[in-house]
């Protein structure tokens, strides 16, 4: 794939629109519901996903859209075509509920079995990460655009990121193995991938099981910045269209 079947700035605008709608709910007292898998969901998840679905259906009518909340409600999509969208309207719903600002709007494009485009928007932090191509990703913050690039591991060792709400500390240390570690930091949502892409950290052992919409957008951002998302068991790049859209344990890393 050499170019996207859309303009990246259109998806950037869409993520901002969905994020702003989510922020209107975030600033208020809001209800938290429980899905069948016992995970939390709010009106922000539902509102943001509807905005994204409606816009993508109009913008790219030939590309199927798969979203976390639509799937939870029993919707299915034909994934036999070359492309499909993966949407996580609020990644880090627990972060949203606890109002720590570390939640994101995620829109990713799959080409074959590979994540090739992503936009990750953290509206409460005014941080928007997106891919301009499969080899370039950027951060928009405060009106300034910065090209993303993973860093070389510092002499003192890696900064390792862990999930704020889903970390199995024993498993995380096993996945780190004998690598030299300078310290650990907890992050919410897909911002862990983006922090590595921005050269703020080096390694993220994801100890809990995720779905493809949790990783697609952020993987594209990190890969375009020179990093990688690998399956923990095989060390091979994480691919998509898996049975049930289920991810295995994985590792996100810079250089």
Q: How many CA atoms lie within 13 A of 129 on its CB side?
A: 32
Helices and strands of the chain, counted as H and E runs: 7, 14
pLDDT of the residue at 165: 87
3-state SS class at 167? coil
pLDDT of the residue at 36: 76
Q: What are the 10-residue block averages of pLDDT along the chain, 255 residues in total?
A: 82 98 96 83 95 97 94 88 96 94 98 97 98 96 97 97 89 94 95 98 96 98 98 96 95 95
**What are the C-alpha distances in Å from 160 to residues 62, 97, 170, 191, 249?**
40, 25, 14, 13, 16
Compute the distance between CA of residue 208 and CA of residue 170 in angstroms, rounded to an integer: 12
pLDDT of the residue at 2: 53
Span 17-73, pLDDT tens digits: 999 999 999 999 999 988 877 688 999 999 999 999 999 999 999 999 999 999 988
Span 10-28, pLDDT tens digits: 999 999 999 999 999 999 9
Mean pLDDT of the chain: 95
| Cα radius of gyration (the chain) | 17
Which pair of tokens denotes residue 69?
């909340």
Query: Which structural domains are found in the chain, ordered by start?
Result: 8-147 (3.30.540.10), 158-253 (3.40.190.80)
* Cβ atoms 253, 159 nearer than 8 A: no
Q: How many CA atoms lie within 13 A of 5 on its CB side?
A: 15
**What are the C-alpha distances in Å from 136 to residues 16, 197, 224?**
20, 11, 5
Which pair of tokens denotes residue 65?
């859209």
Tell me the whole-structure pTM to 2 decimals: 0.95
Compute the distance between CA of residue 116 and CA of residue 110 in angstroms, rounded to an integer: 6
pLDDT of the residue at 250: 96
Q: Dihedral of CA 223/227/228/232: which sign?
A: negative
């Amino acid at each position: 794939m050499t170019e996207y079947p859309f303009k990246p700035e259109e998806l950037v605008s869409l993520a901002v629109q969905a994020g702003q709608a989510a922020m209107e709910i975030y600033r208020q007292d809001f209800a938290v519901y429980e899905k069948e898998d016992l995970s939390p969901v709010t009106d922000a998840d539902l509102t943001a996903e509807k905005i994204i679905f409606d816009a993508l259906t109009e913008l790219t009518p030939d590309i199927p859209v798969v979203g976390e909340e639509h799937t939870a409600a029993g919707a299915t999509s034909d994934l036999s075509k070359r492309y499909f969208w993966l949407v996580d309207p609020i990644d880090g719903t627990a972060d949203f509920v606890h109002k720590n600002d570390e939640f994101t709007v995620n829109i990713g494009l799959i080409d074959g079995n590979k994540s090739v485009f992503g936009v990750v928007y953290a509206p409460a932090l005014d941080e928007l990460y997106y891919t301009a191509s499969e080899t370039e990703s950027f951060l928009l913050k405060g009106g300034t655009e910065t090209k993303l690039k993973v860093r070389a591991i510092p002499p003192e060792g890696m900064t390792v990121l862990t999930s704020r709400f889903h970390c199995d500390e024993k498993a995380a240390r096993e996945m780190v193995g004998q690598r030299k570690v300078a310290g650990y930091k907890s992050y919410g949502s897909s911002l862990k991938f983006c922090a590595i892409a921005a050269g703020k950290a080096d390694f993220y052992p994801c100890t809990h099981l995720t779905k493809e919409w949790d990783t697609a957008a952020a993987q594209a951002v990190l890969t375009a910045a020179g990093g990688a998302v690998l399956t923990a068991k095989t060390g091979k790049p994480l691919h998509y269209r898996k049975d049930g859209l289920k991810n295995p344990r994985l590792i996100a890393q810079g250089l």
